[in-house]
């Protein structure tokens, strides 16, 4: 598990506040991100990504899914890199 990071679509959702789960700036966020879109952005960065049908603990009713990405460095760096790819 140390070489994997779990990402949720809410991290990249521009309609959410930071308190509600967004982890990137509004300028890097996108409208209605999906787990599939996060996985595609990770794969464009050359990373191995897989989508799982699990939910963010605080948003468990929405069933948005999550993405497991092979990454050994800081999760925040990964999130910022994926946000940039999703914005392109």
Say whether pLDDT at 80 is over 60: yes
* Residue 74 neighbours by CB under 8 Å, 6+ apart: none
Q: What residues does each domain of the chain span?
A: 4-87
Tally: H helices and E strands in the chain: 2, 3
Mean pLDDT of 63-85: 95
Mean pLDDT of 47-59: 94
Give residue 59's pLDDT.
Answer: 87
Residues in the chain: 88
Pick the CATH number of 4-87 from 3.90.550.10, 3.60.130.10, 3.30.56.30, 3.90.1150.10: 3.30.56.30
């Amino acid at each position: 598990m140390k070489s994997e990071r779990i990402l949720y679509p809410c991290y990249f959702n521009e309609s959410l506040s930071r308190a509600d789960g967004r982890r990137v700036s509004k300028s890097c966020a996108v409208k209605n991100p999906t787990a599939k879109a996060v996985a595609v952005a990770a794969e464009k960065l050359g990373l191995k990504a897989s989508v799982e049908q699990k939910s963010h603990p605080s948003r468990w009713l929405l069933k948005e899914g999550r993405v497991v990405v092979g990454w050994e460095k800081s999760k925040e760096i990964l999130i910022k890199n994926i946000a940039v790819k999703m914005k392109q």
